[in-house]
Chains A and B, each alone.
Chain A
Amino acid sequence: MRTIVLSIILCGVFLVGWHELVQHRLYGTRTMDVASQFDQNLMKSQSFLYTGFQPDVVIVGSSIAARLTNHPKDWYNLAFAGGSSFTGLEIVQRSNKHPKIVLVETNVLTVARDERLLDSLFFPIVSKARGRFPSLREQYKPTHVLVTELPGGESKPAAHGLSGDRFTEQVERRLGELRVPLQADSTSGIARRLADAVKKLQAKGCRVVFFEVPEYEQSEHLARPEAIRAKLHELFPDNEYAWVPHVDWSNFHTTDAVHLDPDSAKHYTHIVADFVEHLHSKPATTAPVTAD
């Protein structure tokens, strides 16, 4: 029993020590670049939930929208690599933040919301404890802090695009995926879930704006994106909902047939920001939605 008691006491000592270290020495350390993709998503969400920052505009989406980083300072990008808009929508809805506008990416809606991430984020007691004690947050995991201290550990790996055969292979793969139309019930299911999420956000006083990020130009009019686009425009008509105007995809470049390269991402972010700026001057005219 002595070992058990001593171990528990020492664990408490380590926790207090780590908390003090985080509070006084490590607070603000940037560890995002050293974390795994999933941990990065968690950090992004925890940072959204636990800081006092009240963004005017929140972007939700997948890794495609996650590249839109060059946005105005009062925006927050809550788009997740490996995820979809559904996760971000759920987080905004369950948070105590009230953004004026939520920008919803419509490129990837076939991925359901990430329950693992949401469970971790809103787990009772632990969620409150993380709010109170930053040392329990993803950002301050001892291993993340340690990696940033190692030679080359803090450097963000250079984003390199695919080239040659790999790019062609990836293009073929992506086009192959998008050529296969979704079944009607899948499209309706996506629309229904999106309508539910939008309704909840509207009830919270947020205005929802949809946007579709350009991808590889040949994929623009393939069966799957066309079907989803048509369904969404039917459910959220342009005269009632704000849509960032569709752009000519041939003016943009991707690194891997899906994600925009840094220059194109910057260019597209400007287009979205200009549209939002223009919207601020116009009142919302949205009506409640119901999916078929």
Chain B
Amino acid sequence: MLFTSARFIILVLITLVLFYTPMLRRAQTVLLIASSLVFYLVNSYEAHQTSYVILLISSITINAFTSYQTFFAKSLPKARFWATVGVIANLIILASFKYAGLLGHSMPIAWTHEAGPAHFLLMITLPVGISFFTFEGISLLVDSFKARSAEDFFGTPLDAPRSHHVLSTTLFISFFPHLVAGPILKAHDFFPQIKPKFLKDVDWQFCFRKLVIGYFLKMVIADSLKDQTFWIQYPYFMWFGGKELVVLLFGYSMQIFADFAGYSLIAIGIAGLFGYRFPENFDFPYISKSFSEFWRRWHISLSSWLREYLYFPLGGNRRGKFRTYFNLIVVMFLGGLWHGAAWSYAIWGTTHGVALAIERLFKDRIKLPDNAIVGAFKMLGVFFVVTLAWLLFKLPNFHDVISYVQAVFTNWDGPVNRPRVYNVLIFSLPVVIYHFAYLSLHHSPLKETNAWPVLQRWTAPIAYGAMMFLIAVNSGVTGDFIYFQF
């Protein structure tokens, strides 16, 4: 049930009507949970893995129980014990279902016969959204441990019945807008928001903005680019000219942004309709002048999760330079593996980790002038490396990545399919404009003048009207969201 499908829109509409029916106000949380389970059930059914609903419910049960025990433990060792049990349970679930295939592929071929261990591991399919809900479970446990001495349990009075915590945990983990592809929520941000909601409090303008931009990025940009970048797969790319291969890779970089940022914006907009605020997940990442800035702007909910729950516990940058570099590389290596159970994702993460470490190493030693030209070069450099690394997402076989790069050079003078190149550039243009408009207007003195609100007042409806028009007449046919596979 994709966000772009009619079934999803019907589910949202029915849930919205019931949610704001005054008679059902006391049942709002239960209603959202019921809709979320329907959403997950349909998604699991479409992926031929209906039984994994039980896995989701088990994960919720484990997290509700262990986080409650952690928070209300009478002593610190007991709290630590329950938090550890919960975190290990989440990691076991993630490892068993997400990395079984990787382990199976890494075993000797002789073990792949029907009764062999590799065959058994390869039969385990990836449950929808597992990477997201296990990380949220860990967040709940760590936050519960940290909040032990607080006067309330994330805004809930300490004498509230246990069932209240069970319901809150269920909603936190299963709330459908973020369930299968994020943004990754943190317990201390979400739990305090669980309270009765009123229609009059909905920020319609906010939701409208998020939904229109989100659907535009997904349906018009990402879904159209997907049919062009389809050719970045072996052996097709071997037949393309080098210049076209460069354009296709550039298009894939735009596509992956539009796909995931679009999904996140739709999730934020839909959560907003129910009175919940999700964290922003993207902040114009392609204007980053450094890799550390890129990771503050790209998939923010994941990078902040990794920082808060992995990098800091490992010691962050407080244990000397070499330990900092080591921590950065380890965190990004694991972050890469979080994206997918294939070594190419690990290489992708490690590439970013090494880039972050090198950047930190040279940051204090080389002082570059702080002007627009140097800034533009830095931006281009980061974009170049980030885009090149996306090849590891598109071509999970590392050998194919090498072949692609080789093909760029060996086929450099090969034929160029102009319509395809035009299409990629036209669909990439809005993403480029989106970033550069922000870049040029963000620090513009125009924002301080009286003309700014007037300009916004008139340009905003034109921009949103144009995006809605293009959604109606220029959408591509929906494909899965790229981040669904994670």
Contacts and interface: CB of A to CB of B under 8 A. Distances in A.
Contacts of A152: 418
Interface in B232-284: 235, 238-239
B468 A8 contact: yes
Contact of A157 (B205, B230, B417, B469): B417
Contacts of A135: 473
Nearest to A116: B477
Contact of A116 (B204, B462, B479): B479
Interface in A96-120: 116-117, 120
Interface in A215-255: none
Nearest to A156: B419
B427 A14 contact: no
A13 B472 CA distance: 13
A3 B469 CA distance: 15
A179 B188 CA distance: 58
B125 interface: no
A4 B208 contact: yes
Given A1-B204, A7-B468, A169-B235, A34 B474 contact: no
A15 B472 CA distance: 8
A37 B474 contact: no
B224 interface: yes
Interface string A18-42: 1000000000000001111111001
Interface residues of A, number: 46
A197 B194 CA distance: 52
A143 B426 contact: yes
Contacts of A18: 469, 473
A9 B419 CA distance: 33
A37 B227 contact: yes
B109 interface: no
Contacts, number: 112
Contact of B474 (A10, A143, A169): A143
A37 B230 contact: yes
Interface string A150-178: 10110101101010001001100100000
B415 A157 contact: yes
Contacts of B457: 3
Contacts of A7: 208, 212, 460-461, 464-465, 468
Interface string A125-139: 000000000011000
Contacts of A155: 418-419
Nearest to B209: A3
A3 B239 contact: no
Contact of B419 (A34, A38, A123, A136): A34
Nearest to B229: A36
Nearest to B462: A10
B46 to A, nearest CB: 11
A6 interface: yes
A15 B427 CA distance: 20
A6 B239 CA distance: 48
Contact of B228 (A10, A14, A36, A158): A36
A130 B77 CA distance: 66
Nearest to B208: A4
Contacts of A123: 6
Given A3-B205, A3-B208, A8-B468, A120 B417 contact: no
B106 interface: no
Contact of A136 (B228, B426, B465, B472): B472
A85 to B, nearest CB: 20
A147 interface: yes
Main secondary structure, interface of A, reads: helix
B245 to A, nearest CB: 15
B6 A158 contact: no
Given A158-B415, A166-B238, A117 B477 contact: yes
A242 B462 CA distance: 59
Contact of A170 (B235, B423, B474, B476): B235
B460 A141 contact: no
A146 B473 CA distance: 13
Nearest to B471: A11
A152 B416 CA distance: 11
A5 B356 CA distance: 46
B75 to A, nearest CB: 55
Contact of A146 (B239, B417, B426, B476): B426
B470 interface: yes
Contacts of A120: 477
A160 B457 CA distance: 52
A126 B458 CA distance: 31
Contacts of A205: none
Contacts of A9: 465
Nearest to B424: A36
A160 B241 CA distance: 12
A288 interface: no
Nearest to B477: A120
Contacts of B227: 36-39
B14 interface: no
A128 to B, nearest CB: 14
B466 interface: yes
A189 interface: no
A36 B479 CA distance: 14
A142 interface: yes
A141 B415 contact: no
A4 B204 CA distance: 8
Interface of B: 6, 204-205, 208, 212, 224, 227-228, 230, 235, 238-239, 415, 417-420, 422-423, 426-427, 457, 460-462, 464-466, 468-470, 472-474, 476-479
Nearest 8 pairs between A and B by C-beta? Answer: A10-B465, A36-B227, A6-B461, A7-B464, A14-B469, A34-B419, A11-B468, A152-B418
Given A3-B461, A8-B468, 5 more contacts: A11-B465, A11-B469, A147-B422, A153-B419, A173-B235
25 contacts: A2-B461, A3-B457, A6-B465, A7-B468, A8-B465, A8-B468, A10-B462, A10-B469, A11-B465, A14-B465, A14-B466, A15-B469, A35-B423, A36-B224, A38-B227, A39-B227, A116-B478, A116-B479, A117-B477, A123-B6, A136-B472, A142-B473, A143-B474, A152-B418, A157-B419
